[in-house]
Structure 1
Amino acid sequence: MRALVLDRPGTCDTLRPAELPTPLPGPGRVRVRVEACGLNPSDYQRAAYGIPEWEWPAILGLDVVGLVDTLGEGVTAVGLGQRVAFHGDIRERGGFADYALADATVLAPVPDGLEPARAAALPSAGLTAHQAVVRRLRVGKDDTVLVTGGAGGVGGFAVQLAARAGARVIATEAAHNTDHVKRLGADAVIDFRGEDIAARVRELTDGRGVDAVVDTIGSDSATANLGLLVHGGGLAAVAGRPDLNAVAPFGLAPSVHEIALGAAYLLGDHRSRVQLSIMLAELLEMAADGRLDPMLSRTVPFEDVPGALVELSGRQVRGKIVYVAS
């Protein structure tokens, strides 16, 4: 099969096309003929340091959509030719190839009418946002939510999901992305480059603060935002843990939720992996009937994936880039 491969840890401009043996699925697994695969920050991050379990040359690409091509022993829940989506295991070869293997329990059916490229924009970022907003923070209609990085993948989905839950959404972003983030559902957007985030949050909430934070930036940002929570509020940390020493013990009493999507494979059990399928199926249905914007900014062909990943590493991309097979 054709694949984009990484021969050793490095930057994504070192990816090269290669011909590799077409893989065969073992028990409980399926082979998927790849139609589309989303690009994610985890791709260039993993490329930089490698994964100990990788088979070299490695293949990146976690967010796969395609047609079930071959069934492994014992697989009965999906059928040949069925279009499915999945968030892959970071330890395995991914979707920047003609074929990819997957655990049958994580597969989600792609609804009729939802294009493969739009479906492939959802798994990593959408599942992370879903876990944060719906499963962990349980955002509701009386809540005020702060989302950092509202134009990014996770941030953009978090804004949409929180708004759909009826919450008031405050997002941080660069000023030129304000209109875009408001279209996603944010009620207010704070320019993180030119405004004092904490002061603006206090101003927008009449000094009260927020019920929940989805922090997509890192540990320093998450730590700073702990102090913006109301008593008993919650923070979902996507990119780095906050330092709880920043708030006095037994005062604000914040709940902190660490979002680690890939750990469903590394440390989770069968139930954890099934939940990936359930959540993704929900997101795909929402995208299919127009309740969720997949935020697909553009698609790229096979040969342009390395350059697009390098561009993504610059952290200036709005929405999602997806590889589409020719």
Structure 2
Amino acid sequence: MKAFIVKKYSKKEKLHLTDWAEPTVNENDVLVQVHSAGVNVIDILIRNGDFKLFLPMKPPFLLGRDVAGIVIKTGAKVTKFKVGDEVYSSSGDHHLGTYAEYISIAENDVAFKPKNLSMEEAASIPLVGLTSWQALVEIGKIKKGQKVFIQAGSGGVGAFAIQLAKHLGAFVATTTSSKNTYLVKSLGADLIIDYKTEDFETKLKDYDLVLHSNKDSKILEKSLRILKSGGQLISLVGPPTPEFADALGLSWPLKLVIKLLSFSVRKKVKKQNVSFKFLFMKPEGKQLGEITKLIEAGIIKPVIDKVFPFEQANEALSYIETGRSKGKVVVKVR
């Protein structure tokens, strides 16, 4: 099969289109013929080697997590899906490879594609949808009337999270540039802050939850200060915490490194009587099925900026690397 591979960890590394062995289908896996692949910032971070501390990949390796396609083969113990089913998924941490013609995915990580979405639209959903669900529903347990601050509202996660938070009944504040104000307002944002000209800390107070996605340490400190006592900050960019290291079962030297990396933020959190959690999205077919219901009911809509042809996967990565994409970028494989 044709596939894009990473030959070495590097910020300057380009993906290489090559012939690659078709994936093995284990007894609990489905083989998916890839029609479209969602492009995510995490793809860039994995390529760069930013996550190799706890997500080591041995080059050369495949890249890409989000997929929409058709089941063409099932493992012996698969019961939920059959050949011909249209599905979508965000594949597991060590089963990357949606920038390819085929990918084998664990049955439990897969859900039926929303009937009202195209393959390109469906491929834009899994990672941002699951990230938002796990932050706001699973961890945050957001209730009606609570106040939520979602950073970068016009980005992939932000655009989905705003819609989900509004569905849950929250008051939603977000940051974006003035040119994207209309977009985030149309998604349901109640309070919109122009990050180029305004300081969100002067406008926000006593928030229940912050969905944090900015690597700037000063933004993290400000975000903690706008929380009310007992509020929670859920970070998508880190630093990772000892709880995260325990959940992954990392070795004690790595646990020590992570403990040191998060020492400063954990000290601030304790002082302010708030909580801090690092979220690294986990694939979950059941949660994706719940998201499918919201999409088919018209409650949540995909937001897509550009669709690139398969041969231009590098251009797609470069485009999201600029940080200017609105919503999601997708690669059309078939």
| Aligned: 1:289 with 2:289 | no
Which sits farther off after the overlay, 82-91 or 54-63? 54-63
Per the alignment, residue 168 of structure 1 pairs with 171
Shift in CA distance, 12/324, structure 1 to aligned 2, threshold 3 Å = farther
CA RMSD of aligned residues (A): 2.0
Per the alignment, residue 259 of structure 1 pairs with 279
The one-letter code matched in structure 2 to 1:217 is N
CA-to-partner distance for each residue in 1:41-86, whole Å, 9 max, x for gaps? 0111111128575454322110011111111232222111111111
Q: Report if aligned partners of 1:210, 1:230 keep a CA contact under 8 Å in 2.
A: yes
Equivalences, count: 306
Q: Report if aligned partners of 2:6, 2:13 keep a CA contact under 8 Å in 1.
A: no
**Mapped partners of 1:123, 1:21: distance in 2:** 25
Within 5 Å, which residues of 2 pair with 1:53-202?
Answer: 54=57, 56-202=59-205
Q: Report if aligned partners of 1:217, 1:240 keep a CA contact under 8 Å in 2.
A: no
CA displacement at 1:219 relative to structure 2 = 6.3
The one-letter code matched in structure 2 to 1:176 is K
Gap regions ≥5 residues in structure 1: 203-208, 265-272
CA displacement at 1:285 relative to structure 2 = 2.4
| Aligned: 1:222 with 2:225 | no
SS in structure 2 of the partner of residue 86 of structure 1 = strand
Q: Report if aligned partners of 1:84, 1:108 keep a CA contact under 8 Å in 2.
A: yes
Indicate the percent of aligned positions where both proteins have the same amino acid.
28
SS in structure 2 of the partner of residue 34 of structure 1 = strand
SS in structure 2 of the partner of residue 193 of structure 1 = coil
Which sits farther off after the overlay, 112-121 or 31-40? 112-121
CA displacement at 1:311 relative to structure 2 = 1.6
1:213 to 210, 224, 232: 210
CA displacement at 1:91 relative to structure 2 = 2.1
SS in structure 2 of the partner of residue 3 of structure 1 = strand
Shift in CA distance, 166/325, structure 1 to aligned 2, threshold 3 Å = same
Gap regions ≥5 residues in structure 2: 240-261
CA displacement at 1:114 relative to structure 2 = 2.0
Which 4+ residue blocks in structure 1 deviate beyond 6 angstroms?
none
Q: Report if aligned partners of 1:219, 1:239 keep a CA contact under 8 Å in 2.
A: no
Per the alignment, residue 287 of structure 2 pairs with 279
Per the alignment, residue 4 of structure 2 pairs with 4
Shift in CA distance, 290/196, structure 1 to aligned 2, threshold 3 Å = same
Q: TM-score, normalised by structure 2?
A: 0.86
The one-letter code matched in structure 2 to 1:38 is G
CA-to-partner distance for each residue in 1:198-231, whole Å, 9 max, x for gaps? 11214xxxxxx21211111136223321111112
**Mapped partners of 1:233, 1:54: distance in 2:** 36
Per the alignment, residue 246 of structure 1 pairs with 268
Per the alignment, residue 319 of structure 2 pairs with 311
Q: Report if aligned partners of 1:39, 1:323 keep a CA contact under 8 Å in 2.
A: yes
